[in-house]
C-alpha cells in the first residue's frame, strides 16, 4: 500500500472573531507549533535553512526570519498548531504524519495572510518544543494556516487547514487592546 502524508483539518473548524475599540489594533500574539507525538522531525526556515531539530523530548530553536517553516521527518505522530491570543491558547489544528519510514518527505508549512499591510514575523522561543509566529494585523481580514506538500505529486500542492478571522468593529465596552470574546 502506498504510504502518504495525511493532513488532518481540526475536528471542528475554528473561526475566531474579535472586535476592538476604535483606534485600537487587533494583535495576534503568536501561532505555536508543538511537536506532540511526532518524533524525528526537523523544522527549518525556507530561505536561510537554519535547522530547528526536534528530538524525542524538545525542539531546539534557531533564528527565524521568514514566514515559512520547512518540516521534514521520518516518524509517525501528530504535530499540533496553536493560535495564541491575548486571552490564552486555543488549539487550532493537528497534522498527522502517516508515511513509509524509508521514504523521504518534506512538508512546507506557511502562514500567509490576506490582510493588506499585516506584519508577521517568526521569533525563537527559549529552546522548547514550539515555534512562535507573531505579528500585528493592521486591518481586518483573514489569516490562513496553509500546509504545502512539496514532494508528493499524488496530493494537492497546498491545503488550507485552518483560518483565523479578525473582525474590526466598535466595541465601547473595551478601552484597552484586548479582544472582545463572543
If we measure between CA atoms, which residue out of 140, 151, 92, 143 comes closest to residue 114? 143
Instruction: Report the C-alpha gap between 16 and 21 in whole angstroms.
Output: 17
Cα 162 to chain center, whole Å? Answer: 9
Strands (E), 4-157: 27-34, 41-45, 51-54, 68-73, 77-85, 88-97, 105-110, 119-123, 132-136, 141-149
Q: What is the pLDDT of residue 42?
A: 42
Residue 139 makes CB contacts below 8 A (sequence gap 6+) with 115, 116, 117, 118, 168
pLDDT tens-digit series, residues 122-160:
333 333 333 344 444 444 444 444 433 334 444 344 443
The answer for 173, left when phi > 0, alpha when psi is -120 to 50, beta otherwise, is alpha
- Residue 15 is placed in which grid cell? 473561526
Q: What is the pLDDT of residue 120?
A: 41
What percent of the chain has pLDDT above 90? Answer: 0
Q: What is the pLDDT of residue 71?
A: 46
Instruction: Report the C-alpha gap between 159 and 157 in whole angstroms.
Output: 7
Alpha carbon separation from 176 to 29, 112, 142, 171 (Å, rounded): 15, 27, 22, 10
pLDDT tens-digit series, residues 31-60:
444 444 444 444 433 333 333 333 322 222
Instruction: Report the C-alpha gap between 13 and 123 in whole angstroms.
Output: 26
Three-state secondary-structure class, residue 135: strand
Q: What does the pLDDT average to over 69-88?
A: 43
Q: What does the pLDDT average to over 92-115?
A: 38
What is the average pLDDT score of the chain? 38
- pLDDT-based confidence at 3, cuts 50/70/90? very low
Amino acid at each position: 500500500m502506498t504510504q502518504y502524508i495525511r493532513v488532518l483539518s481540526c475536528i471542528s473548524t475554528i473561526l475566531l472573531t474579535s472586535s476592538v475599540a476604535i483606534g485600537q489594533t487587533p494583535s495576534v500574539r503568536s501561532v505555536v507549533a508543538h511537536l506532540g507525538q511526532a518524533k524525528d522531525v526537523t523544522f527549518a526556515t525556507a530561505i536561510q535553512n537554519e535547522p530547528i531539530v526536534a528530538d524525542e523530548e524538545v525542539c531546539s530553536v534557531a533564528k527565524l526570519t521568514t514566514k515559512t517553516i520547512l518540516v521534514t521527518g521520518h516518524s509517525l505522530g501528530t504535530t499540533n498548531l496553536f493560535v495564541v491570543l491575548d486571552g490564552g491558547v486555543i488549539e487550532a489544528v493537528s497534522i498527522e504524519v502517516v508515511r513509509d519510514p524509508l521514504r523521504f518527505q518534506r512538508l512546507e508549512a506557511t502562514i500567509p495572510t490576506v490582510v493588506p499591510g499585516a506584519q508577521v514575523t517568526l521569533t525563537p522561543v527559549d529552546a522548547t518544543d514550539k515555534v512562535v509566529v507573531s505579528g500585528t494585523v493592521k486591518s481586518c481580514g483573514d489569516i490562513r494556516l496553509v500546509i504545502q506538500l512539496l514532494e508528493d505529486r499524488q496530493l494537492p500542492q497546498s491545503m488550507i487547514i485552518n483560518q483565523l478571522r479578525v473582525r474590526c468593529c466598535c466595541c465601547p465596552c473595551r478601552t484597552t487592546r484586548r479582544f472582545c470574546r463572543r
